[in-house]
Chains A and B, each alone.
Chain A
Amino acid sequence: MAAPLTLLLLVAVTLRAALFRAGLTDLISGRVEVVSPLTAWKRVVEGLALLDLGVSPYSGDVFHETPLIIYLFHFLVDYAEITFILADVITAVALYLAVKDYNKQVFRKQRYALEADRYPLDCLEIIRSPKEMYYIPLKVAMFYLLNPFTILSCVAMSTCGLNNAVIALFILSTIKGNVLLSAIFLSLATYQSIYPLTLCAPALLYLMQRQYIPVNFRRAGFWWFIAQYAFMYLGSLFVIVGLSFFLLGSWDYLPSVYGFILSVPDLTPNIGLFWYFFAEMFEHFRLFFLCVFQINIFFYTIPLSIKLKEHPVFLIFMQLAVISIFKSYPTVGDIALYMAFLPVWSHLHRFLRNIFLVSCVLLACSALFPVLWHLWIYAGSANSNFYYAITLLFNVAQILLISDYFYAFLRREHHLTYGLYLKRKDGSEATLVLK
């Protein structure tokens, strides 16, 4: 398996290098779908220039990266392209290893269940075979590296790629069962963009599952583990935040980064749901709806964790998707990260209902983004409503996509307990219905 992966990495790196050489960076880095005010490379360059001049990079209203990123590029600015390529490669390899490990566990669990005769007899069709699972990790890496969204994001030098790398490393360390590294990478990811905080729920569930700690609020062991994880998480977060403070010598970055993420002052159009809504909003309702929109992202964690507490990795996928749909400044790079997980759930395909419709809509929307942008900004003949309509459609399609996967996942679990060909009590064939 190493050889195909190496080949894939080579192809991906060559492709990116070629695109960099072709000078497409300028063209792509102006696209609002690919870069957001948070991740734009132009703004990083601006921040570096300010830093070199001895001015706090946060003094203007341009730079919104975290201090660690700016110091990273302070040293690596000449090798920025390589850094971004490397970040993509790291993400892909981390996902590859993580999924490989996860598949092993899934297979082991399935074997135990089979040995214990826990599956109904007619479920053999939906039992997963090693042959089918063999290529999944490679497909995951391929989905990430060759996804046009990732490539665009990388060529535009959007720092979203770095965030994805951190999240991928977090997923890898969690799946490998390394509590400390998991907490450290989670705190790094949180430090970068707040929203990955919700990933602590699946991480905890997964790690506890791995250490055979039952999720029981009355057990001391449960609370002890949470305390441990929280301590490690908060400790490393404290260290990172402190480090940022010492690097810059001021707390300027807190409002400039996190305030910027949470209060959404920049309403440049993007593929998210915030900009149009808040542009149209009366000013005195702004705070209220801001809270509603932001809580919305975190809110899904609780019901999803309860429903999926046996399946933390699927929960990670769901959470990533929810974040990338509802976050304040989404870019296509965020979408690419959760889309990389789609091959992991390839066994759910027979239960998916709207996949054709949804993929057509996603495809059409991706093509229509630049067209409507052109009509709005350059030709002046369309207006923002056209663009927002496509944004809305794009997000609805994404929501349908993940709810479809969610439904398919639950349905497969249901079949694994009750048998594939459900009969009613009166013997007629039954259909499962989602209400």
Chain B
Amino acid sequence: MIEFAATYAGLYFKGLLLGLGLTVAAMAGAFLIGLFVALARLSQRGWLRAAGGAYVALFRGIPPLVLLYLVYFGLPAWAAQVGNPFLIALLGPLDNRLLAATLAFSVNAGAYTTEIIRASIQALPADQMEAAKSIGMTHGLAMRRIVLPQSLRIAFPPLCNEFIVILKGTSLASVIGVTELMRSAQMVAAATFLNLQAYILAAMFYVVAVIVLQTLSSLIELKLLAGSTTGD
């Protein structure tokens, strides 16, 4: 097993790095989606609230693998079928595996991120918004300067958790041929017939990566807390 690990560690590591890159990109997209949809869900306007709610209901309901197939196989094929040049220009690039995976995972994780950010905003005492308004801030300014900076600190630990969920979810991208960690393991297994070793090594890579990420997030969390509660 040790010899096996030594032989293929480099290949696995490359796969892990690709998975991590995919995760960072998907998380960035999910964060942006989550921020805007959460604000929509808390909006004073009914139609925005409804639209935000619909987003969460829809994309929390679609399994990520189904979404991946829809984005990678479904959309570009549909654009080509319709033959509309605008649609082809818009959706054609999704036949790029990495792009399709990034989009699918962003949209999927965006639904969860929405709920994390919404709950964090609501967890903040209401008087923070009121105090901000009492000194003449508009709703938007109060959100940006007073509410979100505090809420995102509350959101940080569950967002880190979401990051880890996305990372493990990137193994799904192996089915559309993205050469991330799981795909590397499949290729090694196919070449060596050592299925058990190949997948144990993949599992170990995931576990170590997650432990490292957890440790990092705890360290950052401590730093964030130090800023707000104890001061100097």
A and B from one assembly? no
Residues of A within 8 A of B (CB): none
